[in-house]
Amino acid sequence: MIFYNVLDYYSGDGFHLPKNICPIQALKEVEFWKIPSKDIPSCCYEVLYDEHEAQYNSIENFDSDLKTQANQTVSPLYEEKKTKPSLERLRYRLLEAHTHPFSTWSGRIWIFLSALVTITSVVVYLLNSDEQFRIPREDLPVLSYNLTYEEAIVNHKYLVLIKTTREPIKSALEQFTNVLLLLELMLKFAITHQKKSFVCSLQNVLELLTGISVFFVVYLDRNGAEFMDDPVLEDILVVIGILQGLRVIRVLRLVESTPGMKVMKLSLKESWREFALLVMVLTSFSLIFGSTMYWIELDHPDTFPNIFVSIWWALITMTTIGYGDFYPKTAGGYCIASLAAVFGLMLLAMPITILASNFNAFYNCYNYRRRHLLSRT
């Protein structure tokens, strides 16, 4: 394919690769004709080393993993008795609907119902945290020393949790949706043949803990005054509240089978070097600007009490968030703050641009491969 280019090379006219050649074929031709890599000009690097080859390999490996998981769900019993209805056949159809929800009607119905229950659960959770959607508690115990709850409890958020409770209809709806989601999780565990990996999955563990925490929240909500003076119960309430907030993870599971989510997962997985670079650079410059700011502002005792706070300020400033809880008050501090903001813009722009470029490359490669596979069918 590149005979004339090779002939030019051995004639002393130099070597160049044509633009309309497959990179893999070009590499084979170069190796076949024994052309040293030092004689390949830099203008031909793009032709010789295709920058999207790794993306195509990752997409193919990802698709092959999905096919392997689907194939592993079919037991030898099912292969022998395809035409006969059996529990194994039902199990395979359910797992196929779960793994590829948009390929079958049963999968579409499953993902629609799962999305409806998940969104309902999240909306009810959000409404129950607002005082406007709660009702006054009727069985409040009387405090000692003739104190009112407003006098005994300074934190208004604790006061709302103690003096109010959830509406019965929303409490029942939350428990009902939670039971459905737990049953769905149990069904996924029952139909999968990879039970060990299912149990070890962090997302599945968090979903289980989230579902269990709902029942504890219902109990604590009905007995809100019990944890008023018990710091241990207050800590338990905080942990359970955090677990409840993690139910939003279920929304991510609904979209994990879509092409966009697949591409995002692949691009994030393949961009770990850029993430590591971003973390390392932000950490290093946060330490530099933070420690510098602390010593420059040493004469002002009300600005940065310690270096840890100044490092926190540097990180927030470099990421252009700027809460304003701490700020410099000297001319030197203003200069350091300006440098931190400028360096933050430059340092964040480079890795984020690379991440966006990786995602765009993966997305384009995925679409090209999908169009190619569709054209073969």
Provide the residue ranges of all domains of the chain, joining segments of one domain with +.
2-49, 96-254, 261-376
Tens of pLDDT, residues 292-331: 999 999 988 888 999 999 999 999 999 888 888 888 999 9
Amino acid residing at 154: V
pLDDT at 88 over 80: no
pLDDT at 354 over 50: yes
pLDDT the model gives residue 130: 86
Tens of pLDDT, residues 76-86: 444 444 444 57
Q: End-to-end CA distance of the chain: give it in Å, rounded.
A: 29
CA nearest 114: which of 93, 91, 94?
Answer: 94
pLDDT at 211 over 50: yes
pLDDT the model gives residue 226: 60
Rg of the chain over Cα atoms, rounded to whole angstroms, equals 30
pLDDT at 363 over 50: yes
Give CA–CA dist 56/14, Å, rounded: 32
Amino acid residing at 347: L
pLDDT at 242 over 50: yes
What average pLDDT does range 105-120 have in this prediction?
87
For domain 261-376, the CATH class is mainly alpha
* In the chain, % of residues over pLDDT 70: 79
- Range in 33-37, 40-44, 143-147, 363-367 with the lowest mean pLDDT: 143-147
Exposure string for 125-143, b = 16+ CB within 10 A, e = fewer: bebbeeeeebeebeeeeee
Q: What is the mean pLDDT of the chain?
A: 79
Band the pLDDT of 103: cuts 50, 70, 90.
confident
pLDDT the model gives residue 229: 57
What average pLDDT does range 57-72 have in this prediction?
54
